[in-house]
Amino acid sequence: MANLIQPKVLKGFRDFLPETEISRKDIQQTLEETFKSFGMVPIDTPVLEYTDVLLGKGSGETDKQIYRFNDHGKRDVAMRFDLTVPFARFMAAHINELYLPFKRYHISKVWRGENTQRGRYREFTQCDFDIVGVDTPEADFEILSIMHASLKALGVPDIHIHISHRGIFNAFLDHLGISDDLAEILRIVDKLAKIGEDKVLEMLTELADGDKASRILEYISAEGSFDDILGKLENLSGGPTPGSERIRIVRQMMIDCGIEELFVLNPSITRGLDYYTGIVYETFLDALPAIGSVCSGGRYNNLASIYSKTEMPGVGSSIGLDRLMAALDELGTSSSKKSLTDVLIMNMDRSLKGHYFSLATKLREAGLNAEVFLDNKKFKNQFSFAERKAIPFAVICGEDEFKENRVTLKDLNARQNFEMLTIEEAIEKIKEISG
Amino acid sequence: MANLIQPKVLKGFRDFLPETEISRKDIQQTLEETFKSFGMVPIDTPVLEYTDVLLGKGSGETDKQIYRFNDHGKRDVAMRFDLTVPFARFMAAHINELYLPFKRYHISKVWRGENTQRGRYREFTQCDFDIVGVDTPEADFEILSIMHASLKALGVPDIHIHISHRGIFNAFLDHLGISDDLAEILRIVDKLAKIGEDKVLEMLTELADGDKASRILEYISAEGSFDDILGKLENLSGGPTPGSERIRIVRQMMIDCGIEELFVLNPSITRGLDYYTGIVYETFLDALPAIGSVCSGGRYNNLASIYSKTEMPGVGSSIGLDRLMAALDELGTSSSKKSLTDVLIMNMDRSLKGHYFSLATKLREAGLNAEVFLDNKKFKNQFSFAERKAIPFAVICGEDEFKENRVTLKDLNARQNFEMLTIEEAIEKIKEISG
């Protein structure tokens, strides 16, 4: 035999074994059901794209991380590093086949060759949902509602969605007369949670005079009730702005729908990059603040401006599936199923194997997941197989049962036998026990 | 404004618009439900792997088609070109964490830089299901049952699964004394449907003497009932073989389960490559023979032999999702939904928008997919939006309805109005009309 090849995977990449994959698929399905219940439609785009199409909006950091190469036709191509850029390209390409407002979701893998650390992978899954074509408080509110409904449907306990508005912040910097330094100020403010107020103040003082630096700190650390904070921000910005009015309208919709308790006005949320123009938000778990935001996004001015002259204002959000799963694991609220099989039909007498398969068909027709053990190993081995797959029931049919057209049902959890049942009685008993 | 970047996709790659993506997701979900009902579990593997890991079992043809490059760490990496090689690597890597027989499914994209032609893409989706760790007729039969159940669940009309056995063919060539030319003979025989009997005979005659060539043609074009053909093959091979016994046992299980009509013994099926060692099969639609096989596979001796010393006999099959969807489209049996929204709540009076969102929540709680129109455009625009998304119902709530805590329900298909209903009555009416 030739030398064996070591079956290793690349650093930052992962295999998903059934237990994890069942749970990932459950989560994805729950998210899809929620997205669909809000009228969102799915799309898909290629994993590989022309590099210049993908990097049009990329930052320098993204350029370095992208998986890029020349294909067989010497085309410069790259694997997508997020789902936003392909969506922008998609909207520009298909605007004449679509309608506005267009509400799409996209759950798929993306790739970034970044340094791997705890909870960071080079291949990871994003769940994006966006509304394109309207700049209204209704759309802003709907994305927030979907975030809330999604995390509720997943059973994520005790979340708070921290919202803010880039328009108010911009008006505030204008009022201070230092809006030219926006990008640099955003970069510093974004570090607040990491480096603390003193350090932020120190860095801001290098940029603006001490009084203005203090005012920025006052803005981003404003405290009180939602309405109190909003009032303070308006005062610091020299009065109400379109941004603060928008937030007030969105807030009223939260109250009308009785979900206002979940939302915190947090002016330190800026989402770093200068991409966003309106409302921005991040989502934190009360029990695990250190894990960071599990669902973030905001409003942007013009999604597809590098590809199309058609204006497409949008608002959207993205759930990081890997981080969310890590959080659910840590909180012990993740489901964990080894398989989805309800019944194992024991392969007891091999001359009856055709009968075993027809029993399995009957179980499936009754909505149960059933499998026949595919070898004639010892009972011990077959039970051990059932245990490895966490199968709750076994059906046994030996010569005696077969002659009477009966089976024996074993409840493997309760270690209880039900003898000489018809297959219909066995199905009824399984459903009764499973509740 | 800077020059626009053209929003184009690579040749052989595709965007999926909502209508197609909804249908693709429906098909995938139906397949997953079927796979799970047979006790199959899902796994996932990385899109990128070390090239030497992927190409261990690749043929020369695959080498040329693979998307291969050096990553940031100068590693020689490649995108997977099928789901079988990654599965073999997966089994070798995780054998100690798993159990046998292991039954997995994997639905995912793969990439091949091959020439694009009608129905061939460089990015396409495979649906693989395999049973590893047993070499039994039960396992062979189960894969056939899953193929049958999957295509039935998808509503694919009038299919026939053509089966054959490589072991019988090998015994036959042995009996003729020309088994050394196996690979070349397989290559020729595989062309029968394409080039016809005369041409195949001509090519075979270049390889073996005329009598033997005629016998090969006699073998691959044997006709009659399932049992007749099996008898002929046994005669041509010098008597019963383990392969023909295995087929006979599998045939009996088909009869026991009442699905024997769907299976044809077709000795011209060889599946080309010398990978397969036992039963092999392809699936054809009676109405569209030209489209080729929509689901193919077979038994292989040792899945992971290049990575592991542990013997892993297996049997499996793969559905080509893109080809299957093309077939369903051509037959007019594909579903085609523009969205999944049941109800559009018209944005009539903007001061009531909070109320509209709370109505939407009530509809969702009743299991209906509902959305509020996110702008205050003219009714005409809102109805046109409903039409573009093929939404069957609209809910209207103006000042009058709001005061009475009522709504007007519009059945947009029947163009019928139901006035002054409570939201609960509207929900009941929608469910009644939708059936």
B13 with A258: Cβ contact below 8 A? no
pLDDT above 70 covers what percent of chain B?
A: 97
DSSP code at position B264: E
CB count in 10 Å sphere of residue B210: 10
Average pLDDT over residues B291-315: 92
Does residue B271 have a known ligand-binding role? Answer: yes
Does residue A130 have a known ligand-binding role? Answer: yes
Q: May I ask the CATH class of domain B343-434?
A: alpha beta
The answer to whether B395 and B414 are in contact (CB under 8 A) is no
Q: DSSP assignment of A319-335, as one string?
A: EEHHHHHHHHHHHT-S-
Q: Has residue B141 got a pLDDT over 90?
A: yes
B385 with A99: Cβ contact below 8 A? yes
For residue A29, the chain B residue with the least C-alpha distance is B29
**Chain A partners of B45 at a C-beta cutoff of 8 Å?**
9, 15-16
Burial (CB count <10 Å: 0-12, 13-18, 19+), residue A227: exposed
Query: A245 — phi, psi (to 5°)?
Result: -65, -40
Burial (CB count <10 Å: 0-12, 13-18, 19+), residue B132: buried
Which of B21, B69, B307 has its CB closest to that of A42?
Answer: B21
A4 with B307: Cβ contact below 8 A? yes
Note the pLDDT of residue A57: 54
Q: DSSP assignment of A118-137, as one string?
A: TT--SEEEEEEEEEES---H
Give the H or E element holding residue A14.
none
Question: Which tokens belong to A309?
Answer: 């002259």
For residue B17, the chain A residue with the least C-alpha distance is A43
B39 with A341: Cβ contact below 8 A? yes
Note the pLDDT of residue A61: 67
Of A104-113, B172-181, B421-430, the one with minimum mean pLDDT is B172-181
ipTM: 0.94
Cα B282 from Cα B33, distance rounded (Å)? 22
Tell whether A67 lies on the interface with B, counting CB pairs under 8 A. yes
Cα A197 from Cα A70, distance rounded (Å)? 47
B8 with A50: Cβ contact below 8 A? yes
Cα B295 from Cα B57, distance rounded (Å)? 22
Residues 6+ apart with CB under 8 A from B215: B176, B236
Which residues 98-117 of A have a C-beta within 8 angstroms of B?
A: 98-99, 101, 103-104, 109, 111, 113
pLDDT tens for each residue of B178-204: 888 888 888 888 888 889 999 999 999
pLDDT tens for each residue of B253-299: 999 999 999 999 999 998 866 678 999 999 999 999 888 899 999 99
Cα B270 from Cα B372, distance rounded (Å)? 56
The answer to whether A395 and A359 are in contact (CB under 8 A) is yes
A16 with B258: Cβ contact below 8 A? no
Note the pLDDT of residue B114: 83
CB count in 10 Å sphere of residue B127: 22
Q: List where CATH 3.40.50.800 sits in chain A.
A: 343-434
Chunked mean pLDDT (size 10), chain A, 435 residues? 86 96 96 97 98 77 87 95 95 95 98 79 97 97 97 92 95 91 86 88 89 93 95 96 97 95 93 83 92 93 89 95 90 84 96 96 97 94 96 97 97 96 97 94
Residue in A146, A159, A143 with CA at minimum distance from that of residue A283 = A159
DSSP code at position A13: -
Note the pLDDT of residue A332: 83
Cα B263 from Cα B420, distance rounded (Å)? 58
The alpha-carbon gap from B204 to the nearest alpha carbon of chain A, in Å, equals 33
Give the H or E element holding residue B376.
none
Which residues 184-213 of B have a C-beta within 8 angstroms of A?
A: none
Through-space distance between the first and last CA atoms of chain B, rounded to whole angstroms: 53
The answer to whether B31 and A25 are in contact (CB under 8 A) is no
Q: B134-156 burial string, b = 16+ CB within 10 Å, else e?
A: bbbbbbbbbbbbbbbbbbeebeb
Note the pLDDT of residue B157: 86
Rounded mean pLDDT of chain B?
93
The alpha-carbon gap from A207 to the nearest alpha carbon of chain B, in Å, equals 30
Report the topology of domain A18-331. BirA Bifunctional Protein; domain 2 (3.30.930)
Cα A14 from Cα A82, distance rounded (Å)? 18
**Chain A partners of B340 at a C-beta cutoff of 8 Å?**
36, 39, 41
Tell whether A92 lies on the interface with B, counting CB pairs under 8 A. yes
The answer to whether A131 and A315 are in contact (CB under 8 A) is yes
Q: How many CB pairs under 8 A join A and B?
A: 310
Q: Output the furthest CA–CA distance in chain A (Å, rounded).
A: 94
Which of B113, B308, B374 has its CB closest to that of A138?
Answer: B374
**Chain B partners of A75 at a C-beta cutoff of 8 Å?**
10
Q: Has residue B1 got a pLDDT over 70?
A: no
For residue A314, the chain B residue with the least C-alpha distance is B374
Average pLDDT over residues B206-235: 93
Note the pLDDT of residue A147: 97
Average pLDDT over residues B16-28: 96
Cα B319 from Cα B169, distance rounded (Å)? 25
Provide the 3-class DSSP secondary structure of residue B291: helix
Which of A64, A136, A256 has its CB closest to that of B355?
Answer: A256
Ramachandran sector of residue A298 (left: φ over 0; alpha: ψ -120 to 50; beta: rest) = left
Query: A243 — phi, psi (to 5°)?
Result: -65, -45
CA distances from residue B408 to A305, B142, B262, B364, B425 in whole angstroms, order as listed: 40, 53, 52, 18, 10
In one letter, which amino acid is B201? Answer: L
CB count in 10 Å sphere of residue A61: 10
Q: List where CATH 3.30.930.10 sits in chain A.
A: 18-331
Question: Which tokens belong to A252?
Answer: 């009223």
Residue in A38, A271, A21 with CA at minimum distance from that of residue A150 = A38
Tell whether B152 lies on the interface with A, counting CB pairs under 8 A. no
pLDDT above 90 covers what percent of chain B?
A: 81
In one letter, which amino acid is B326? Answer: A
Residue in A379, A382, A419, A374 with CA at minimum distance from that of residue A401 = A419
The answer to whether B341 and B371 are in contact (CB under 8 A) is yes
pTM for the full predicted model = 0.94
Residues 6+ apart with CB under 8 A from B432: none
**Chain B partners of A389 at a C-beta cutoff of 8 Å?**
39, 41, 99
Residues 6+ apart with CB under 8 A from A300: A275, A276, A277, A278, A313, A314, A315, A316
Cα B376 from Cα B348, distance rounded (Å)? 7
Cα B20 from Cα B33, distance rounded (Å)? 20
Tell whether B383 lies on the interface with A, counting CB pairs under 8 A. no
